Every structure is written in C-alpha cells, then in structure tokens.
Chain A
Amino acid sequence: MSQRKKASASQSKSQQTNVNEDEMTLSQMTSSQVQRARENFSSVQIDRKVAEVVQFILVKDQKKIPVRRADIVKHVMKEYKVIYSEVMNRVRRTFEQVFGLKLEEIDTKNHIYILINKLEAGETVSMCPGNPKSGLLFVILSIIFMKGGVAKENLVWNTLKKLRVDSGEKHDEFSDVKKLVTDEFVRQKYLEYVKIPHTEPVEFEFRWGLRADIELSKLKLLEFVAELHDQDPQSWTQQFREASASESRT
C-alpha cells in the first residue's frame, strides 16, 4: 500500500497540473501525447485506478447522487487524468460486464453521469415494490405523466393527500414529505421542481427528471394506471402515443 502510494506520488510530481485546467488538457491532448502519458503508468497502476473510479461511482450511486466528471478527476483520477478516456472506457466496460449497469451521461455539457440498470427494462431495482420511497415516487411520476408531462405543485400535494400522505405533516415512513419530494428526488434527478414564471404568489410545477426518463418505461407506467382504472391503456390516446414512441426509441 505505502509503496503504491510512493509510486503514484512520484508520478504526480512530473504530471502535476492544475485540476481546474482539466477540461483544457482533456480536449487538447493529441493521440501521441496520450500515448506518451500512457507509458508512465504500469498496467497494475491502471487496473487499480479503474477499480477506484468504479468504487467512487458506486458509492455516489448508492445515494443516487449524479457524479460529475470534474469530481471524478479531482478526487480519484488525479494525475491519471491524462489517460482519462482510457480509464473511463474500462470503467464503463466493468459496469456493463460485472454489474449489469450502464454509465450514462445525462448532461453532456457539464458531464454528469448516473448509473442505470441494464437488466430488463421496466423491472428496475429502483421500482422495487418493497421500497416505500419508490412507491411514492412512482405515484408522483404517474400524476405528471398523465397530466401531459407537467403538473402544478398543488395538484400533486392534493392527490397525495387523498392517499393520506400530507406534505404539511410529518409522515411515519417519509418523515418530511415535502423535503423528500422537492429535495431528495430532485437531487437524484427523478424530478424537476421549477418555479412557474410570472406567478404571484410564486407557484411551482413538477416535471420528470432525466433519470426518470432513462430508468422508467412509460408504457409500463401507463399499463399500471390503466389497471387501477380498470381500462385499456389505449383509451388515453395522447399518453399511449407518447409511451409507445418512447418505447421504440430505447
């Protein structure tokens, strides 16, 4: 362990540049530069770095926190950032081959990644029925979807109230419901919670977050709602069209 640290420390001296310049370095490297940088690392060192990045992303993902490329570089990659793409390609392959997960870039401008489940769409781990939080989330996403993609805050709270989940009261299971929905679910990119412009007093509305788009099957969701209403999914023409369209995209 200490030897390994020493080895990487001595490397860092020669490679050390400001982490903030990372964007620059990444895009300006020529292939021969990468090749030369690559020779500074032994394959054992690179294996180890891949493992560290995998662990780093897994820890973040446990809490469903999206991972920023800048954080990966700053906290894990460090002097290995010169071979960023090579390491990340192997990280990606490891996630797919070992864990059945896909590392998806949900924000290509700020380079933000999340892990999504590759094993059979629709039956994702996050939608495991034993988890009350995902149950609540599923209901909220259903409301938004059935309302055509956007739902006013009040509508969501009132619907939840009918299910005996009151955003103004402390809930046994969810404790602070409002915080869970507008903070945790939003941070996890399941929901978007945005101010409606020109409202006085200020009103907010909910939309689907990027993670919801990727992880959830709209068709499965519509089938679920239809079953509740004891009707055919196709009787909601617009929703059915959208659900089928998004299904064929994936």
Chain B
Amino acid sequence: MSRPMGDSHRRFLQSMMSNGIIGASQAKALHKHCCETHGAHYAHDRLDEFIDVINTQLQPMFMNIRKGMSEEDGLQYYALVNMAETDVTRMASDYADNELELFRKTMDLIVDSESGSASSTDILNCADSLQTKKLKKKETEHVLNKFVQDKWLNEKHGEYTLSVRCIIEMEQYMRVIYQDLIKVCHVCHNIALQCQICENPRCGIKMHLPCVARYFKGRSEPHCPACNDFWPHEIPEILRSQSQGSQSLSSSAKENTAPTPSTSTTRRSKRS
C-alpha cells in the first residue's frame, strides 16, 4: 500500500510544476522545506520514497517525476515529465510548427554527431530547408535562444547539446525514432550523446564523460570495460561542481526559509 499524499507532497509537486526540473541538491532542500512547512515527518534520506508517493498519484495523469543524470556535470536532476505524448508534440503548445521542425532537425544533427552536439552554423543551414515555413537567420537564433531558455537545449560556444531535461523527458521518444542510432552508456545505461567511444571497431561502447571520470578514477592504465582494449581518450577529472552543488544547497536552503524556494536563485546559481 502506498502512503497517502499530504500537503507537503502537493507543495513539492507544485514547485516541480513551476520549475520543470531541479537539481538533486535543490530537491533535497525543497523536500525539507515542504515537510517543515506542513509539519510532516521529515527524513532526509527518504526523498525518493517521498517522490514515489507523488508518482503513484501522478501515474493516472500520465505524469511522472523522474531522476536523470546530466551528461555535462554528472549531477542528478529531477524532472517532471509527461508520458502521455513523449513525442515532440509535448512542446507543441509552446512552439509553432516550423519551430518544432527546427527542434527535430537539431535533434537529428545532435544524435548523428560524434560529439553529441550541433554547431549553430549547421542548425542555421538546415533552417533554410524547413518544409513547414522557412525561418530567417535572425528568427532561427531567436528560436534557439527560446529552446535554451525553456531548458530543452544547452549552448556553449555556439555548440548546442540536448539538455538533461530534454533527455529525461524524450528518452522513450528518442529510442523509438532513432532506434540503433541511440547508444546507451556502458556505465549508467542511460542514453549517451556527449560521451567517449571505444575505438575498437568490434566494440565501440559509449561512456558519458562524468561516468568515464568516475569509472577510471585512480586507475593508471584505463582499459575499455567491455573489450579490455586500451582506452585512448583523455580521462576527464571528476567535476568540482559536485562539491559546489552541496554548498549551494545549504546556502539556498537558508535563503529560502520563507516561501517556496524561488526559481530565480536556483537559476542564477546555475548560470554563475
């Protein structure tokens, strides 16, 4: 039997609805805040059970709070996802048809690429060949910005990648659409886009950069975990942001003693 839902759960869900996605550390702070606001029993290590209670109630609504790892910083995030239409149509209410087509093309470019990213030049080029309605260069840039703002894409030095929210939400859709093109990470078994690839042609497994960092930590001679060939890539270091993440938790928890943890502080801390 699942535990009944209380106001603490409802407040947590409301916050998830207005944020769309939050980092694990913010989720922990929010969990505490919600329990304390409504005088509910709070157990710091029971966040996932707390979320399960919400998910049981959300399931008939074809919604779900799901956990996923960011391909960039390796941190855990929680996203509220809609399972009714895992298709891109999920975004349909917010974007015009040609904007959605641009998003699909961008996704194609990213999935096809080795690096798991698409350059703004390539995206601008395919904006010329949209079938629904062509987008001018300026308009395309504007739409791309909107995708980044709405947390569907990430952008760094003119290179666009799929955001963690996008991957969590569209995982099913991507597996259906791209089938064999999609590979999963050998370590965490989630979709792998920005990753390193084993160069043995008979192997070719993929690993996320943060997963690589964690897997090879402290090993002098890295070998592929599947075929045991030498791993020829540079081993990234475990990102510092993990420790920073827990710091920002304590500070944001303090700042937000009053109402619901505000969106803007979390956004700001992410940008900086």
Task: List chain A positions with a Cβ less than 8 A from chain B.
Answer: 47, 50-52, 54-55, 58-59, 62, 94, 97-101, 117, 119-120, 123, 125, 127-132
Contact = CB atoms under 8 A, between A and B. Distances in A.
Given A99-B10, A119-B10, A62 B262 contact: no
Q: On chain B, which size bracket covers the interface?
A: 20 to 34
A130 B5 contact: no
Contacts of A117: 14
A98 B144 CA distance: 34
Query: Helix, strand, loop or mixed for chain B's interface?
Result: helix
Nearest to B56: A98
Given A51-B84, A131-B263, A125 B18 contact: yes
A97 B84 contact: no
A58 B82 CA distance: 12
Interface in B236-272: 258-265
A54 B62 CA distance: 10
Contacts of B179: none
Interface of B: 5, 7, 10-11, 13-15, 17-18, 37-38, 57-58, 60-63, 82, 84, 93, 258-265
Given A99-B14, A100-B7, A117-B14, A129 B84 contact: no
19 contacts: A47-B60, A50-B60, A55-B61, A55-B63, A58-B17, A62-B18, A94-B61, A98-B58, A100-B7, A100-B10, A117-B14, A119-B7, A119-B38, A123-B259, A125-B14, A125-B259, A128-B262, A129-B262, A130-B264
A127 B263 CA distance: 12
Contacts of B61: 51, 54-55, 94, 98
Contacts of B265: 130
Given A97-B57, A100-B13, 10 more contacts: A55-B62, A55-B82, A55-B84, A98-B61, A99-B13, A119-B10, A119-B11, A129-B258, A129-B262, A130-B265
Nearest to A122: B259
B14 A52 contact: no
Contacts of A128: 259-260, 262-263
Nearest to A98: B57
B77 to A, nearest CB: 19
A131 B264 CA distance: 7
Contacts of B10: 98-100, 119
A62 B63 CA distance: 15
Contacts of B18: 62, 125
